[in-house]
Amino acid sequence: IFIMSVSAAPRLAAAVGTTFGTYCLADFLSNFIQHPTQKMDYGSLNRYIGREVDREFWGTRTQHIVGVAGCLALTDHTSQALFEKALKKPICFAKSPAAFVAHTFLFIFSGVTLYVAGDAAFNPDHEGKRMEELKSGTYSSYVGSNTAWFEPYVAPAVAKVAGPAAANTWFASALLPATLAYATVKGVGWYDWGNSGLNDLEMKMNNVAKK
């Protein structure tokens, strides 16, 4: 068993890494759905796209992209393993739709909440109000995660429109569902749409007055 575990470790690491990369890109792309005309704050990366740098990492879109993707990659693969152990077979939407939908909610909610907990604990912006931030973020995570029920249905919908070959691509089966889910989870959970949900630098760059 130990030898099998060691041999499987590189494959698992590669799978988690691929998931992490997919979620990073999905989060980035979802910003164009939520904020189609607004300029975003990517922290230290701003200097490479000609934008002002206010904070290097904390409180920026880059913090969210990297942090949430890392947490979701861990909870996604952990949840899959737990469901597969319980079902005694690989989890698949086509064969176990109810279990897969449950897996989708659980890994998104637990992953986003894990990120919320880390942000509440370590983000210097939350000094003196960390517990309040944790409670608020956990509630927003729950509300937002409930909107992602549709994620498993995206690839089947693509199959209906463009055929099975298109639905089985990485874009249709992974990136597109994740991008849409990111948009609804953030948008509904945190009301992160248009000129709402912007940090101070984003409000400045987009000429949005503070309320």
Q: Is 166 exposed, middle or buried (0-12, 13-18, 19+ CB in 10 A)?
A: middle
Residue 145: name the closest of 172, 194, 106 by CA. Answer: 106
**Signed CA dihedral, 62, 65, 69, 72: sign only:** positive
Q: Is 102 exposed, middle or buried (0-12, 13-18, 19+ CB in 10 A)?
A: middle
For 81-85, what is the mean pLDDT? 95
pLDDT tens string 102-160: 999 999 999 999 999 999 999 999 999 999 999 999 999 999 999 999 999 999 999 99
Task: Specify the DSSP class assigned to residue 173.
Answer: I
Residue type (1 letter), 148: A
Euclidean distance between the first and the last CA atom of the chain, given in angstroms as a whole number: 60
pLDDT tens string 170-211: 999 999 999 999 999 999 999 999 999 999 999 999 999 987
- Other CB atoms within 10 Å distance of the CB of residue 144: 23
Q: How far apart are CA 90 and CA 81, in angstroms?
A: 8
Assigned token pair, 56: 């290097």
The pTM score is 0.94
Q: Is 123 exposed, middle or buried (0-12, 13-18, 19+ CB in 10 A)?
A: middle
Q: How far apart are CA 195 and CA 186, in angstroms?
A: 14
Predicted pLDDT of residue 7: 63
